[in-house]
Amino acid sequence: MKPYIVWLGPLVDEATLLAGYAVSPAAVRWQTGFIRGLAASGVRVVNAGHIGEPAWPRGRLRMSASLGAVPQDIDGQLVGYVNVPIARAAHLTLNYGRAVHSIVRHHGRPMAIVTYNFYQPLAAVAFVASRFTGAPWILISADRDPGLYATTIARLPDGTVYLSWGEYDSGRRAKFHLDGGINQERPSAPATPPRVVYTGALTAGAGVELLAAAFDNVKRRDVELWICGKGKNAVVEQLARRDPRVRYKGLVGDEELAAICASAAIFVNPRLPDLEENKYNFPSKVLDYLAAGAPIVSTWTDGFAPEYRDLLKVVPATPTDFARGIEETLALPDEERTRHAVAARAFALASRSWPRQAARFVTWAEALASGRA
């Protein structure tokens, strides 16, 4: 029988993602890319997930599985739940348990049970299922929760995959570093006037307010700032109203996002280094930036592995320094931009393609299952 993995985590298709539910676009794109990489490596993934929503009364009282769908090329199902505090966790645990029981009964013993991030209902089901099936429970730690479950109960997984280099470097035994991946080289067709492109969360922690303050200090008028991401941010909205150079796009679909990235003269990653949460995650969008080939102006956070330093223009997290980094990078001669594009794409394709990352993971997971990791 073909080896398979039980995957527990919020995985939805693009239509569901764009519908405004509390689902992270970065998390969905990361999981989708990795699962497709596993399929290319000969490992089937069977997923159970749910659609996130603020608890009632801010959100819906009942979250039906019929409100969304998983990507068509992934074998998966969504579970519903009563969206009331306390009852929500219990109902999700029950329905995830039923889903995993059905999957294992139909497909047999999995090679591993994977949970994306440490969320109590997923963790409880994965722990019990791993003990009954004998398959290792592998936690993918994408965003560390500093609370009780992360510091105490998170020691229960048999192995942990860390996206953040800083968390991996200080992590527990049976650990594996896998920050992200790409499917292929991205096309590049820089637009005129030159575009500075930001994609990601529109939060202060992600650095979008630092970026807004920095762009105020960019003196060139023949440049545009394109901002794409989920959510609302008053600082960004105010900047877009008063500065005609700013294009505030909001959350966009994959095709539009790819076209915007292809048009970039430079990318920006202004994530705040001193923010605790940024020490325990990895900005996976940077791999898409590298695959597109345009230079990247970035702060340096602990999530980056050391080999990224030579591929980024690293600047301090101040508006003045970030603005200077943008202007200096926009002024790079064509020869230097070409050299960067070649080096960036070579790195991304050689070491961070999803099939290669998946093959590395499978080797590690098999060793973990046999007690050798």
How does pLDDT run across 296-318, given as a tens digit for each residue? 999 999 999 999 999 999 999 99
Collect contacts of 55-61 with beta carbons under 8 A, ≥24 apart.
Answer: 55/83, 55/84, 55/85, 55/88, 56/83, 56/84, 59/22, 59/83
Check the CA dihedral 125-131-136-139 and report its sign. Answer: positive
Task: Specify whether 202 is located in the same domain as 156.
Answer: no
Structurally, the chain folds into a number of domains equal to: 2
Q: Is the pLDDT of residue 206 over 60?
A: yes
Whole-number pLDDT of residue 215: 98
Q: Is the pLDDT of residue 149 over 60?
A: no
Per-residue pLDDT band at 155 (split at 50, 70, 90): confident
Q: What is the DSSP letter of 192?
A: S
Per-residue pLDDT band at 143 (split at 50, 70, 90): confident
Residue 11: what are its φ and ψ, rounded to 5°? -130, 115
Whole-number pLDDT of residue 169: 85
Q: Is the pLDDT of residue 148 over 60?
A: no
93 in a domain, yes or no? yes
22 in a domain, yes or no? yes
Task: Specify whether 88 is located in the same domain as 77.
Answer: yes
Whole-number pLDDT of residue 189: 87
188 in a domain, yes or no? no
Whether the CB-CB separation of 329 and 298 falls below 8 Å is answered with: no
Whole-number pLDDT of residue 188: 83
Task: Specify whether 151 is located in the same domain as 288.
Answer: no
266 in a domain, yes or no? yes
Task: Specify whether 136 is located in the same domain as 10.
Answer: yes
From start to end of 229-276, where are the E strands?
A: 246-250, 266-269
Residue 142 token pair: 């994408």
199 in a domain, yes or no? yes
Q: Read off the pLDDT of residues 85-117 as tens digits, 9 standing for 90 and up.
A: 999 999 999 999 999 999 999 999 999 999 999
Whole-number pLDDT of residue 164: 94
How high does pLDDT run on average in the chain? 94
Residue 46: what are its φ and ψ, rounded to 5°? -115, 120
Task: Specify whether 160 is located in the same domain as 240.
Answer: no
Whole-number pLDDT of residue 11: 96
Whole-number pLDDT of residue 144: 73
Per-residue pLDDT band at 280 (split at 50, 70, 90): confident
Task: Specify whether 365 is located in the same domain as 327.
Answer: no
**Secondary element (H or E) of residue 47:** strand 44-49
Q: Read off the pLDDT of residues 330-352 as tens digits, 9 standing for 90 and up.
A: 999 999 999 999 999 999 999 99
Task: Specify whether 330 is located in the same domain as 358.
Answer: no
189 in a domain, yes or no? no
Whole-number pLDDT of residue 185: 75
Task: Specify whether 270 is located in the same domain as 290.
Answer: yes
Question: What's the start-to-end Cα distance of the chain, in Å?
Answer: 24
Residue 21: what are its φ and ψ, rounded to 5°? -75, 170
Choose the weakest-confidence range: 80-84, 274-278, 338-342.
274-278
User: Is this prediction's pTM over 0.75?
Assistant: yes
- Provide the 3-class DSSP secondary structure of residue 54: coil
**Secondary element (H or E) of residue 42:** none
Task: Specify whether 264 is located in the same domain as 357.
Answer: no
Task: Specify whether 123 is located in the same domain as 230.
Answer: no
Residue 75's domain comprises 4-181+353-369
Q: What is the CATH number of the domain that holds 44?
A: 3.40.50.2000
Q: Read off the pLDDT of residues 43-58 as tens digits, 9 standing for 90 and up.
A: 999 999 999 999 999 9
Helices 25-40, 354-369: crossing angle, 10 deg rounding: 80
Residue 227: what are its φ and ψ, rounded to 5°? -120, 120
